[in-house]
Homo-oligomer: A and B are copies of this chain.
Amino acid sequence: MNPTEARIYEALRSVIDPDLHQNIVDAGMVKGLAWNAEDRKVSLTLQLTTPACPLKGYFSSQITEAICRVMGEAWTVEVTFSAQTAGGGVEMLPQVKNLLLVGSGKGGVGKSTVSTNLAIALAQLGARVGLLDADIYGPNVPLLMGLEHAKPAVREKDGRPFLVPIRKYGIEVMSLGFLVPAGQATPWRGPMASNTLRQLLTETDWSELDYLIVDMPPGTGDIQITLAQQFRPQGAIIVTTPQKLAYADAEKAIVMFRMPLVQVPVLGVIENMAYFWTPALPERKFYIFGESRGRMLAEKYGVSFLGEVPLLEEIVQQSDAGIPPALQQGTPVAESFHQIAGEVARALSRQLATATV
């Protein structure tokens, strides 16, 4: 290593990844370091554990500062980001790096809306994302994705038939709603429900995915147990509203995911319908369902508070129209989903780092 290279590496060792609690050199994140003494320019690629990392700005400024401190103020630094999504891989689903369950003890807290928009926001941040609608009693994802009349094709692979997931808005989607006629009830007993879901997961021809988001049915029953035991998901995300009723049920979901029988790491809590806001009274937030219980819940169980989504008429309207609001650019709603996506990716990286230590 020549003296310049050694000095730059020395500088970079002072930049700490706040999630991994390790410097970026020892964590193996620095790639392709190059410099040009004439132009006084350093360039490098920082390899993140997730493309959805919300810390890009932080790393950029920390790296630039550290290098300029050592090399002189006249130097410029160019940081490029790449990502190698961390993930243990999923049993029975070798092409999926991370299986993430979106759950809530209670129904109607907006789990499907959060799952759908989280999947889209992760994809917009550069990840390869799949979305499985596991709510076999009331599959809502087709409506939210504007895919009410979609019918997946079947493709043969190694002599076995596989369902081809539907691609839309940059993600791969599969839902039981694609397979049963609209309006038809599915009064299935528990074991039948679990089997159906296992099939839907393993007999879909998913691409290589960084994240497969599973929109779970409400409750703490057969499907939750089966998924946890047979697939060993990398994490669970709890959706709640600020209502005391929802809090109690979300608490049960956390307790269930942590049971010895189940054991899925809980990454954190998302609070939906946090407050009602209307342009008719722009200076007010109406805490219709109460205040900040999502944050309380996260604190009580020592998990991350991953963010909040307000209750806006436009979210309901766009969702009902099959256009996930996370698709838009620059709106406060899209912004909150992008923040949440970043926090989810970050909580997962932390969880994986802890698990492998």
Contacts and interface: CB of A to CB of B under 8 A. Distances in A.
Contacts of A221: 137, 187-190, 193
Interface string A190-206: 11010000000000000
Sort A-B residue pairs by CB-CB distance and give the 3 closest, nearest first: A108-B108, A107-B107, A190-B190
B249 A187 contact: no
Contacts of A253: 185
Interface string A99-133: 00000011111001000000000000000000000
Interface string A60-102: 0000000000000000000000000000000000000000000
Interface string A315-353: 011011000000000000000000000000000000000
Interface in A24-41: none
A18 to B, nearest CB: 32
Interface stretch (A7-15, A48-56, A164-172, A277-285): A277-285
A317 B140 CA distance: 29
17 contacts: A105-B137, A107-B107, A107-B108, A107-B219, A108-B109, A108-B246, A137-B252, A138-B218, A140-B248, A183-B255, A187-B261, A187-B262, A188-B220, A189-B221, A190-B221, A219-B219, A290-B316
A245 B315 CA distance: 13
Contacts of A256: 185, 187
Contact of A108 (B106, B188, B189, B290): B106
The size class of the interface chain A forms with chain B is: 35 or more
What is the copy number of this chain in the assembly?
2
A311 interface: yes
Contact of A255 (B185, B190, B252, B313): B185
Looking at A221, A290, A316, the one whose CB has the most chain B CB atoms below 10 A away is A221
A193 B225 CA distance: 14
B243 A320 contact: yes
Contact of A107 (B106, B190, B284): B106
A220 B255 contact: no
A305 B187 CA distance: 25
A296 interface: no
B220 A185 contact: yes
A105 B255 contact: no
Contact of A289 (B220, B251, B259, B316): B316
B245 A140 contact: yes
A320 to B, nearest CB: 4
Nearest to A319: B245
A143 interface: yes
Interface in A190-247: 190-191, 193, 217-222, 224-225, 241, 243-246
Given A187-B224, A188-B221, 5 more contacts: A105-B185, A138-B252, A184-B252, A217-B219, A276-B288
A58 interface: no
A83 B252 CA distance: 43
